[in-house]
């Protein structure tokens, strides 16, 4: 779900819809918070919280760069083998 919302935000970046992009980042941050709350794996929680800092920086940026956004999405996908397998389909399509 988090990656879906980040992918949605990617499309909003190309549409130059700043308000919708902010809302997408807010949803991503909330999904991360919920995931951290219920996850029992300490190491995954720690990595998610580190990754959350990347998204928070994008959220605060007046004009986030597409490259930084895509790098954050790539980092998220690399947290699981199933997500990493999706990288060519999600990030290498453009």
Q: What is the pLDDT of residues 22-58, one digit of tens each?
A: 999 999 999 999 999 999 999 999 999 999 999 999 9
Q: What is the pLDDT of residues 50-86, one digit of tens each?
A: 999 999 999 999 889 999 999 999 999 999 999 999 9
Give the separation between CA 64 and CA 80, rounded to whole angstroms: 25
**CA proximity to 46, closest of 84, 79, 70:** 79
Q: How many CA atoms lie within 13 A of 2 on its CB side?
A: 23
Chain position carrying tokens 């990595």:
47
Give the separation between CA 85 and CA 68, rounded to whole angstroms: 20
**CA proximity to 22, closest of 12, 31, 32, 14:** 12
């Amino acid at each position: 779900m988090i990656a879906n919302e980040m992918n949605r935000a990617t499309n909003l970046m190309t549409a130059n819809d700043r308000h919708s992009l902010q809302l997408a980042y807010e949803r991503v941050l909330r999904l991360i918070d919920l995931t951290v709350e219920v996850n029992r794996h300490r190491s995954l929680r720690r990595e998610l919280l580190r990754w959350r800092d990347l998204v928070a920086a994008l959220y605060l940026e007046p004009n986030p760069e597409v490259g930084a956004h895509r790098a954050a999405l790539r980092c998220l996908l690399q947290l699981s083998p199933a997500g990493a397998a999706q990288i060519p389909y999600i990030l290498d399509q453009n």
